[in-house]
Amino acid sequence: MEVYEREHMNTVRALSPECMVLLKSDGSFPLGEPGKIALYGNAARKTIKGGTGSGDVNTRHYVSVEEGLENAGFSITTKGWLDGYDAIWNAANKEFRAGIKRTIAAQGISAIMLGIGAIMTEPTYALPLDGEGDIALYVLGRISGEGADRAPEKGNLLLTDTEVRDILQLQKQYARFMLVLNVGGVVDLSPVVDEVSNILLISQPGIAVGDALADVLLGKAYPSGKLASTWAAWQDYCPVAEFGDPNDTRYKEGIYVGYRYFDTVDKAPLFPFGYGLSYTQFAFSDVKTAVQDSKVQVTVTVTNTGAWAGKEVAQLYVSVPCGVLPQPYQTLAAFAKTKELAPGESETLALCFAMEELASFDEESCCAVLEKGDYVLHLGADSRNTAVCAVVRLEENALVQHLHDAGGKPDFADWQPEHRKTVQIPEGTPCLEIKASAISEIIPTAPAIDEKAAALAASMTDSDLALLCTGAYNGAAGSNSVIGNAGVTVIGSAGETTGIFPEIPALIMADGPAGVRIAPKYGVDEKGPYSLDSGAFSEVLDLIPDEMIAALGFSREMLNEKRSGTVHEQYCTAIPIGTALAQSWNPAVCEACADLVALEMERFGIHIWLAPAMNIHRLPLCGRNFEYYSEDPLISGKMAAAITKGVQKQPGRAVSIKHFCCNNQETNRMHSNTLVSQRALRDIYLRGFRIAIEDSAPATVMSSYNLLNGEHTSQRRDLLETILREEWGYRGIVMSDWVSGNINKPDDKYPGAVASGAVQAGNDIMMPGTPGHQADILAALKGEAAYKVTRNDLERCAARMIALAWRLGK
């Protein structure tokens, strides 16, 4: 390991416990010292550092739970069980991979996504639970990733019969038992949740997972995370919320996503949003509320009343009055985390928000509005453990921003709950008044295009501009993969912009969000750098038909070519997955991880990190939820902003917030149409993006694969020019997601996205780009493509690309 690897690993180890959530505790943990420990569960040895697909990160090594416990001095008494599980898993996996190969052979080109996204369901088995000692851990793992969604089935979202049986038995058998959840998202724990006395959600915290868990078990560190999404029994999620249709998915639940649903219909989840215990206890006191103009500030003193050090999160929710517009029971308005508090120590936190941030989109008037009435403030340590602390009374309706009819419309009206939980205001609650005149209307300034870049674009030919607006990938240039590995300058990077114009530097892009994703090793010979494997295709290469390989710009010879240059390494650090970072409820943790990322970007020559990923956890089934933060847009927006600040404070480094927008499922992801109301679009799905943009000015945005109300997001001018730039004042570029429109199937209801559609909409660059994209843009200038593109549209996109290249590529 090189010095930077070791240092970054130590930082991640120290930050990880902040992302871990203690869900149940009977006081048996932490342990005083290491000793004998019985270790069970599918992730005890096969520990998961993060999910699969483009969100995976190539570390030299990461520490499994087994290794971490041994590093800390524990003696594991269940080596036989762990070996037995390995044998069962290996056999099941062999059969699983053979099944994928058979499907790929049968389906041809359409199966590319299957190969990279499919996840094996947990096998069932019976292994003796005979580890010595009176302490046991059961480490339950679930992995998922790009290209496939999760299923509400045993071994996936649900526990297998084997898992339920073993967990319940271990709880009875050992004096101190902990269920450790090494999962990227919700698992329905209902069959065991009441019986098990200690549950720790370690999530997938990256490279040092085993060491960090050992630190927490021994009390050298303590968990201080809180759930960033509700954990409920599968059958309790909103029944009208459709999911996973390959063609049209209707977001009929409207704004009632996550806790907004559970709280409004007053249904108890297993663990509510914002929930998390500590090794210690905290008390809130001296709660004071003040308003100034349209700003509301609540201060609270948090005291550690227990016997261990810890950190607590104060959470402020607001019940917005239901007027003409229906509202959820409550919405998170602000949060703050204490520093480490020693037993007996206190800290006063200030939680602030501006009333404008609570505005809702009124489809009738196309405005963001605040309706008059009582805004009830609830303060507490999780969404279901709060006390009303004040009422803010708005005397008149107030206009916050004139917006547009944009994003299209669905073919249904949003569902509304029949019965709603009502807000109870205790007598004596202070009431503070705000006048409508204190609410300031937002008048955005549309971003100007850099004049010098515009002048250069104006002097270039149509075909040169088309080159600038498509990535530099051409399949035959030396890269031997395409999804997530199309870069040629830095091997294993995701892609790059053209470098053929001497005055416009090429920009190199690499994936995230759990660290920098590039090839761990690459070769260099007299022809230059080359990669040592076939990237995403390696495992299934022999069964991919030749036509499919050709369609992606390769030949089999190219993929199999063996070169014999010198081998170089570029190992990166896996930071906690997005969901884990959000569970810290601490933007400083995100920024500290982003600092590591920025250093590795600099070391390996990456300009743009394709992260943070910030789609909303709409339902626990989305296969990429682990990359995303939360069901709540405020948490998502604030975490993404912290990551962006961390990366972009380094000159020449930038992020790409993705996937803009409503990319909440992986099923048929390039051709699936999200149908959503403008209210839910604005108030839930776009809100986090807007917060991130306003707080941190990310340099790039990645549009999503899916369609939004019947049109690809990359082709919606009303989304990219009207909402993003005109209404929000966004100044950066928009890039497409990878190979958008290049992998189409005959049975797709909707056509793939095209380059002409992108350029006319203000999606500045198609990534990783193909000559076909350039041809489509040039045809569109002559009115001979699916979309009409003017020279002006093309110059505008190219000028934005030039300005970005000058800013980052110096």
Residues that bind ligand BGC (CB under 6 A): 54, 146, 483-484, 494, 511, 610, 658, 737-738
Q: At what angle do helices 451-458 and 791-808 cross, to 10 degrees?
A: 130
- Tell me the closest approach of the beta carbon of residue 606 to ligand BGC, in angstroms: 13
Which residue's CB is nearer to ligand BGC, number 408 or number 612? Answer: 612
State how far the Cα of 551 lies from the Cα of 107, in Å rounded to an integer: 15
Contacts of 106 (CB under 8 A, 6+ apart): none
Nearest to 516 by CA among 561, 481, 484, 473: 484
State how far the Cα of 221 lies from the Cα of 208, in Å rounded to an integer: 13
* 3-state SS assignment for residue 287: strand
**Nearest residue to ligand BGC, using CB?**
484
- Tell me the closest approach of the beta carbon of residue 740 to ligand BGC, in angstroms: 9
- Tell me the closest approach of the beta carbon of residue 486 to ligand BGC, in angstroms: 8
Which residue's CB is nearer to ligand BGC, number 221 or number 494? Answer: 494
CB distance 457 to 759 below 8 Å = no
- State the first-to-last Cα distance of the chain, in angstroms, to the nearest integer: 31
Residue 221's alpha-carbon distances to 31, 309, 382, 551, 565, in angstroms, are 11, 9, 22, 52, 45
Task: Tell me the sheet residues that pair with 508.
Answer: 496
Which residue's CB is nearer to ligand BGC, number 30 or number 741? Answer: 741
Which residue's CB is nearer to ligand BGC, number 64 or number 704? Answer: 704
Which residue's CB is nearer to ligand BGC, number 185 or number 310? Answer: 185
- Tell me the closest approach of the beta carbon of residue 527 to ligand BGC, in angstroms: 25
State how far the Cα of 191 lies from the Cα of 183, in Å rounded to an integer: 17
Which residue's CB is nearer to ligand BGC, number 496 or number 727? Answer: 496
Residue showing tokens 């699969």:
52
Nearest to 232 by CA among 223, 224, 221, 241: 241
Which residue's CB is nearer to ligand BGC, number 208 or number 692? Answer: 692
State how far the Cα of 339 lies from the Cα of 18, in Å rounded to an integer: 11
- Tell me the closest approach of the beta carbon of residue 753 to ligand BGC, in angstroms: 13
State how far the Cα of 591 lies from the Cα of 587, in Å rounded to an integer: 6
Contacts of 707 (CB under 8 A, 6+ apart): 671, 672, 673, 674, 713, 750
Looking at residue 244, its amino acid is G
Which residue's CB is nearer to ligand BGC, number 511 or number 721? Answer: 511
The 3-state secondary structure of 581-631 reads HHHCCCHHHHHHHHHHHHHHHHHHCCCEEECCECCCCCCCCCCCHHHCCCC
- Tell me the closest approach of the beta carbon of residue 424 to ligand BGC, in angstroms: 44
- Tell me the closest approach of the beta carbon of residue 107 to ligand BGC, in angstroms: 19
Q: What is the DSSP letter of 120?
A: P
Q: What angle do CA 295, 298, 303 make, to 5 degrees?
A: 155
Which residue's CB is nearer to ligand BGC, number 315 or number 665? Answer: 665
CB distance 698 to 611 below 8 Å = no
- Tell me the closest approach of the beta carbon of residue 485 to ligand BGC, in angstroms: 8
Q: Using CB atoms within 10 Å of the CB of residue 799, give its burial: 0 to 12 exposed, 13 to 18 middle, 19+ buried.
A: buried
Q: What angle do CA 43, 44, 46 make, to 5 degrees?
A: 50
Which residue's CB is nearer to ligand BGC, number 44 or number 494? Answer: 494
Tokens found for residue 721: 């020019």
Which residue's CB is nearer to ligand BGC, number 122 or number 737? Answer: 737
Which residue's CB is nearer to ligand BGC, number 54 or number 278? Answer: 54
- Tell me the closest approach of the beta carbon of residue 202 to ligand BGC, in angstroms: 25
- Tell me the closest approach of the beta carbon of residue 471 to ligand BGC, in angstroms: 10
Tokens found for residue 399: 């206009």
Which residue's CB is nearer to ligand BGC, number 439 or number 581? Answer: 581
- Tell me the closest approach of the beta carbon of residue 118 to ligand BGC, in angstroms: 15
Which residue's CB is nearer to ligand BGC, number 276 or number 487? Answer: 487
- Tell me the closest approach of the beta carbon of residue 484 to ligand BGC, in angstroms: 3
Which residue's CB is nearer to ligand BGC, number 272 or number 512? Answer: 512
- Tell me the closest approach of the beta carbon of residue 340 to ligand BGC, in angstroms: 35
Q: At what angle do helices 587-604 and 633-648 cross, to 10 degrees?
A: 40
Tokens found for residue 351: 């939680």
State how far the Cα of 453 lies from the Cα of 752, in Å rounded to an integer: 31
- Tell me the closest approach of the beta carbon of residue 664 to ligand BGC, in angstroms: 13
Which residue's CB is nearer to ligand BGC, number 188 or number 737? Answer: 737
State how far the Cα of 69 lies from the Cα of 5, in Å rounded to an integer: 21
According to DSSP, the β-strands at 367-370 and 398-402 are: antiparallel
What DSSP line would sit under 642-695, residue for residue? HHHHHHHTSTT-EEEEEEETT----TTTTTPEEE--HHHIIIIITHHHHHHHHH
Which residue's CB is nearer to ligand BGC, number 262 or number 738? Answer: 738
Task: Tell me the sheet residues that pair with 136.
Answer: 38, 177
- Tell me the closest approach of the beta carbon of residue 604 to ligand BGC, in angstroms: 16
- Tell me the closest approach of the beta carbon of residue 737 to ligand BGC, in angstroms: 5
- Tell me the closest approach of the beta carbon of residue 408 to ligand BGC, in angstroms: 22
- Strand order across the 398-402 sheet: 360-362, 367-370, 398-402
Q: Between the CA atoms of 142, 146, 152 and 154, what dihedral angle is there, to the nearest 10 degrees?
A: -40
